């Protein structure tokens, strides 16, 4: 069958193949520790579920405005005011089916054939694929382990060309957990001030998951001149443990939001109606539940950081300030063999770790950094302790 360029140019998900294999091994009764997941292991708080159940029973099962009910729009405006210190209007915000959907709408609205979007690497793996799908060219800026995986102002300036239409900043980052300081963001912002036609896409999905005093900074707040061309991308998946609900929101310039609204109205329409009230109570809440979750994440993070650093040959270039990932560099082991097979990169390393140690981790290659692996610590201390032990043994056995 003839398929379009749009879908044919998409990279197959290498992570899917590995996770399918991990699941198959678990189904066979083999002992596999899943450290690949990109979602909290906590359940959605009951007060949020209760609202969805009540709305479903009350018959809130019909279409709403594509961008969301007045209640959710008010809740988005509220969180922008409280947590960003920014005042937006109803026409400047919208609810979509996850942060992923927000980004998809945005690239479709901003990117013409051949336009370039700057993507600092390591990157969340859907950015380049969505950009390509929109006809654009992802311009990957490699942020080295030595820089803590953060893009410098110089790197940004060098990557900009007359075709650049947007740049993505994701802090805290998936997959590295890197968090930009205020000064680092301001340096990027200063470069952007010289290029008024570039849109800043600020992916803030992990805004609330911060450790060891790391702070969240938002460029449109720190540099109000950028606000008129910034799209804030956010959502409820991570900090409210609502990945499966598919709830994302954004704030940005009216004309961009109008285009995204128009596109959404012709594609998915509104987010599931009985999830919208739940999203509103979630956004309006004081997030008291998060205190305990963050304390648990912090303990796990410490165990993983210290554990990884204690394995000979494994380094952790970026002490993750946020999210729930660690991104260790295991490249010292490339060139060694497992079971007669040479480990030439992260894909082979992750494949062998799965087969040989029952460890399911994500190869860094899928995030644009082949030296590393992504380990999610959104799982129990027992599993993490076991995993570090297995990784240590696996590394020691490589020849």
Q: Are 284 and 75 in contact (CB under 8 A)?
A: yes
> 194: closest CA among 237, 218, 226, 220?
226
The least distance separating ligand PLP from the CB of residue 356, rounded to whole angstroms, comes to 28
Which of 145, 148, 235, 317: binder of ligand PLP (CB under 6 A)? 235
Closest contact distance (angstroms) between CB of 44 and ligand PLP is 13
Q: How far is CA 353 from CA 87, 301, 345, in A?
A: 49, 21, 12
Residues 6+ apart with CB under 8 A from 91: 254, 257, 258
**Could you say which of 45, 136, 220, 248 contacts ligand PLP (CB under 6 A)?**
248
Closest CA to 323 of 353, 294, 354: 294
Nearest distance, CB of residue 340 and ligand PLP, angstroms: 36
Residue 392 Cβ vs ligand PLP, minimum distance, rounded to whole Å:
28
| Given 164, 199, 207, 237, the residue binding ligand PLP (CB under 6 A) | 237
Interactions with ligand PLP, residue window 260-299 (CB under 6 A): none
Site size for ligand PLP, by CB under 6 A? Answer: 13
Nearer residue to ligand PLP within complex by CB, 314 or 378: 378
Q: Take residue 249 and report the two structure tokens written for it.
A: 């929101």
Using rule CB under 6 A, residue 174 touches ligand PLP: yes
Residues 6+ apart with CB under 8 A from 306: none
- String marking each residue 153-172 x if it binds ligand PLP according to CB under 6 A: -----------------x--
Give φ, ψ of 15 to 5 degrees: -70, -35
Contact string (CB under 6 A) for ligand PLP, positions 87-106, x = contact: -----------xxx------
Burial (CB < 10 A; 0-12, 13-18, 19+), residue 58, is: exposed
Nearer to ligand PLP, 126 or 315 (CB): 126
3-state secondary structure at position 96 = strand
Q: Which is nearer to ligand PLP, 41 or 314 (CB)?
A: 41
List the interface residues with ligand PLP, window 122-141 (CB under 6 A).
124
Name the one residue in this structure whose structure tokens are 């609205």: 109
- Strand runs labelled E in the chain: 33-34, 93-96, 116-121, 137-142, 164-170, 199-203, 230-235, 248-251, 325-326, 337-338, 341-342, 359-360, 362-363, 373-376
Shortest separation between residue 234's beta carbon and ligand PLP, angstroms:
8
**Can you tell me which of 106, 166, 188, 205 binds ligand PLP, judged by CB under 6 A?**
205
**Spatial distance between the Cα atoms of 73 and 89, rounded to a whole number of angstroms:** 9
Measured from the CB atom, the residue of 136 and 248 that comes closer to ligand PLP is: 248
Q: Which is nearer to ligand PLP, 210 or 357 (CB)?
A: 210
Residue 162: which residues within 8 A CB-CB, separation 6 or more? none
Residue nearest to ligand PLP (CB): 98
At its nearest, how many Å lie between ligand PLP and the CB of residue 256? 18
Determine contact, residues 350/361, Cβ cutoff 8 Å. Answer: yes
Residues near ligand PLP (CB under 6 A) are: 38, 98-100, 124, 170, 174, 203, 205, 235, 237, 243, 248
């Amino acid at each position: 069958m003839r398929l379009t360029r749009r879908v044919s140019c998409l990279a197959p998900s290498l992570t899917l193949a590995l996770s399918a294999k991990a699941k198959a091994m678990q189904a066979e009764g083999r002992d596999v520790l899943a450290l690949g997941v990109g979602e909290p292991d906590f359940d959605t708080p009951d007060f949020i579920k209760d609202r969805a159940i009540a709305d479903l029973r009350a018959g809130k099962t019909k279409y709403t405005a594509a961008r969301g009910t007045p209640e959710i729009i008010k809740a988005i405006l509220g969180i922008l005011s409280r947590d960003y210190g920014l005042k937006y209007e109803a026409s400047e915000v919208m609810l979509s089916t996850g942060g992923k959907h927000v980004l998809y709408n945005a690239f479709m609205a901003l990117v013409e054939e051949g336009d370039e979007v700057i993507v600092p690497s390591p990157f969340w793996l859907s950015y380049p694929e969505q950009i390509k799908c929109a006809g654009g060219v992802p311009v990957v800026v490699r942020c080295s382990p030595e820089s803590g995986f953060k893009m410098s102002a110089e790197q940004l300036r060098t990557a900009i060309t007359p075709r650049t239409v947007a740049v993505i900043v994701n802090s805290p980052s998936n997959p590295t957990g890197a968090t930009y300081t205020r000064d680092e963001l301001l340096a990027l912002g200063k470069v952007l001030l010289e290029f008024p036609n570039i849109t800043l896409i600020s992916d803030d999905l992990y805004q609330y998951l911060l450790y060891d005093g790391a702070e969240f900074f938002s460029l449109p707040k720190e540099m109000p001149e950028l606000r008129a061309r910034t799209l804030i991308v956010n959502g409820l998946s991570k900090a409210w443990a609502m990945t499966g609900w598919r709830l994302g929101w954004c704030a940005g310039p009216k004309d961009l939001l109008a285009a995204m609204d128009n596109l959404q109205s012709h594609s998915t329409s509104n987010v599931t109606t009985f999830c919208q009230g739940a999203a509103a109570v979630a956004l309006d809440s004081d997030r008291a539940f998060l205190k305990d979750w963050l304390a648990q994440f912090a303990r796990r993070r410490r165990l993983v950081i210290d554990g990884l650093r204690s394995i000979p040959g494994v380094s952790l270039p970026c002490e993750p300030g946020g999210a729930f990932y660690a991104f260790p560099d295991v490249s010292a082991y490339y060139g060694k063999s497992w079971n007669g097979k040479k480990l030439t990169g992260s894909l082979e390393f992750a494949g062998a770790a799965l087969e040989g140690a029952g460890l399911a981790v994500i190869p860094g290659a899928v995030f644009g950094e082949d030296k590393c692996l992504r380990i999610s610590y959104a799982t129990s201390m027992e599993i993490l302790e076991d995993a570090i032990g297995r990784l240590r043994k696996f590394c020691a056995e490589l020849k």
